[in-house]
């Protein structure tokens, strides 16, 4: 071996090629089959896509770095299932570009937080967590309620997501801005289009507590309220195995 290596050490190009070759194997063997082994991602025909408002909310979640403290991945461990609910399935983040599984739980897991609390609570909590949970160390996000939501380019966001594989229709892309407004303004004429395009299960409410102006708070709360509710697959798996 030392002799072979002595030769290798004398060739810069040879060494470079050796490093690339040796290091490429592991990633290839672990990543490529995730695309070819079909059982990797479960089938869930009821899986729906995020609405434009939820997409905007998700982007705010990313922007604020919520993932630094919150996981969205309930592991296959008894205590996690008993505390947070059925373990997360791969299909649930099928349309998450990128995924937000997280690696640290300074705060609780959020994979099933959708519907767990009221909109009003979410708003109060985001404005100042310590108003509602005195023990909390979560930052305040009061500016979300002050900032208006930018909707004019949401169509471009959906189109970009379609390019990476999320099945948005032309109709969804064309109406993205209006749908975002309608979802947070149930009494407006835009509301009906949201359920028509995204399904009856879609939450259509004044998420931040006041209709009219669309705020970043509307978007983030809409996103939080849909976590774990894009498909019933996980609930079904849990029930079927009971």
Partner 1 sequence: MGTEHRDPVTGRMTTGHEWNGIEELNTPVPRFVLFFLAVTTLFAIIYWIFMPAWPLFSTYTKGILGFDQREVVTRQVQEAAAARAGWMDKIANKSFAEIAGDEALMRHVRETGPTLFADNCAVCHGVKGTGGPGFPNLTAGAWLWGGDPETIAQTIRAGINSTDGGTRVSQMLAFGRDGILTSDQVNSVAAYVRSLSGQPLNASEQARLPAGKEVFKANCVSCHGENGKGIRDVGAPDLTDPHWIYGGDAQSVYTTIYGGRQGHMPHWQGRLSPADIKLLTLYVGTLGQDGSLGKDGSLGKDASLGKDASLGQDASLAEDASLGKNGTGGGGKP
Partner 2 sequence: MVSGLTVSERRLALVIAGLIAVCGLAMAIVGRNDLIGAHGFIVLAFSLGVIALVATRYLDPEPPEDRLSQYYDDPTKAGIVLAMIWAVIGMFFGVWVAALLAWPDLTFDAAWASFGRLRPVHTSGVIFGFGGNALIATSLHVLQRTSRARLPDQFSPWFVLIGYNLFCVLAASGYFMGVTQSKEYAEPEWYADLWLVIVWVVYFLIYIRTLQRRKEPHIYVANWYYMAFILVVAILHIVNNLAVPVSLGHAKSYSLFSGVQDAMTQWWYGHNAVAFFLTAGFLGMMYYYLPKRAGRPIFSYRLSIISFWGITFMYMWAGSHHLHYTALPQWVQTLGMTFSIVLLVPSWASAGNALATLNGAWHKVRDDATLRFMMVAAVFYGLSTFEGSFMAIRAVNSLSHYTDWTIGHVHAGALGWVAMITFGSLYALVPWMWKQERIYSPALVEVHFWLALIGTIIYVFAMWNSGIIQGLMWRTYNDSGTLAYSFIDSLVAMRPYYIARTVGGLFFFAGAVVASYNIWMTIRMSRRAEAAGRDTVDVPASAALVPGE
SS3 16: helix
65: contact with ligand HEM by CB under 6 A: no
Member of 41, 59, 69, 87 binding partner 1 (CB under 8 A): 87
Decide whether 173 or 222 has the Cβ nearer to ligand HEC.
Answer: 222
Ramachandran angles phi, psi of 148, nearest 5°:
-70, 155
115: contact with partner 1 by CB under 8 A: yes
Shortest distance (Å) from residue 61 CB to partner 1: 18
Q: Report the first-to-last Cα separation within the chain, whole angstroms.
A: 56
Task: Please report whether residue 104 would count as binding ligand HEM according to CB under 6 A.
Answer: yes
Closest CA to 98 of 153, 40, 166: 166
Give the integer Cα–Cα distance in Å for 157 and 155: 5
127, 141 Cβ separation under 8 angstroms: yes
Does position 118 interact with partner 1 (CB under 8 A)? The reply is yes
Residue facing ligand HEC at closest CB distance? 107
Residue 117 lies near partner 1 (rule: CB under 8 A): yes
Residues in the site for ligand HEC, rule: CB under 6 A?
A: 61, 64-66, 68-70, 106-108, 110, 113, 117-118, 121, 129, 133, 136-139, 141, 220, 224
Among 51, 93, 185, 225, binds partner 2 (CB under 8 A): 93
- Kindly indicate which of the ranges 19-27, 173-181, 195-203, 217-225 contains the residues binding partner 2, using the contact rule CB under 8 A: 19-27
Helix (H) or strand (E) holding 109: none
Judged by CB under 8 A, the chain residues 124 through 143 that form the site for partner 2 are 129-130, 133, 135-143
Residue number of the CB closest to ligand HEM reads: 103
Phi (first) and psi of residue 215, to 5 degrees? -115, 170
Task: Tell whether residue 211 is a contact of partner 1 (CB under 8 A).
Answer: no
Give, in order, the Cα–Cα distances in Å from 121 to each of 46, 54, 112, 133, 209.
29, 18, 16, 11, 10
Residue 46 φ then ψ, to 5°: -85, 0
Q: Are 36 and 202 in contact (CB under 8 A)?
A: no
Q: By CB under 8 A, name the binding residues for partner 1.
A: 29-30, 33, 36-39, 76-78, 81-83, 85, 87, 108, 115-121, 124-125, 131-135, 237-238, 241-242
């Amino acid at each position: 071996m030392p002799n072979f290596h002595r030769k290798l050490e004398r060739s810069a190009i040879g060494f470079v090629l050796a490093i690339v070759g040796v290091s490429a194997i592991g990633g290839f063997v672990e990543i490529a089959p995730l695309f070819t082994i079909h059982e990797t991602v479960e089938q869930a025909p009821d899986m729906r896509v995020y609405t434009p408002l939820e997409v905007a909310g998700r982007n705010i979640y990313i922007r604020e770095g919520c993932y630094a403290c919150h996981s969205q991945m309930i592991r296959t461990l008894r205590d996690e299932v008993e505390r947070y609910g059925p373990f997360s399935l791969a299909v649930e983040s099928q349309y998450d570009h990128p995924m937000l599984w997280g690696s640290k739980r300074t705060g609780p897991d959020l994979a099933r937080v959708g519907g767990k609390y009221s909109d009003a609570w979410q708003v109060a909590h985001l404005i100042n967590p310590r108003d509602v949970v005195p023990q909390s160390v979560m930052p305040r996000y009061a500016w979300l309620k002050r900032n208006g939501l930018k909707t004019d380019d949401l169509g471009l966001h959906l189109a970009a997501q379609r390019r990476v594989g999320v099945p948005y229709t032309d109709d969804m892309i064309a109406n993205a801005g209006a749908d975002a407004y309608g979802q947070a303004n149930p009494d407006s004429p835009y509301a009906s289009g949201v359920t028509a395009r995204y399904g009856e299960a879609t939450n259509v409410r004044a998420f931040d507590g006041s209709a009219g102006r669309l705020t970043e708070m509307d978007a983030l709360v809409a996103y939080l309220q849909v976590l774990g509710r894009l498909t019933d697959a996980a609930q079904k798996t849990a029930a079927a195995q009971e």
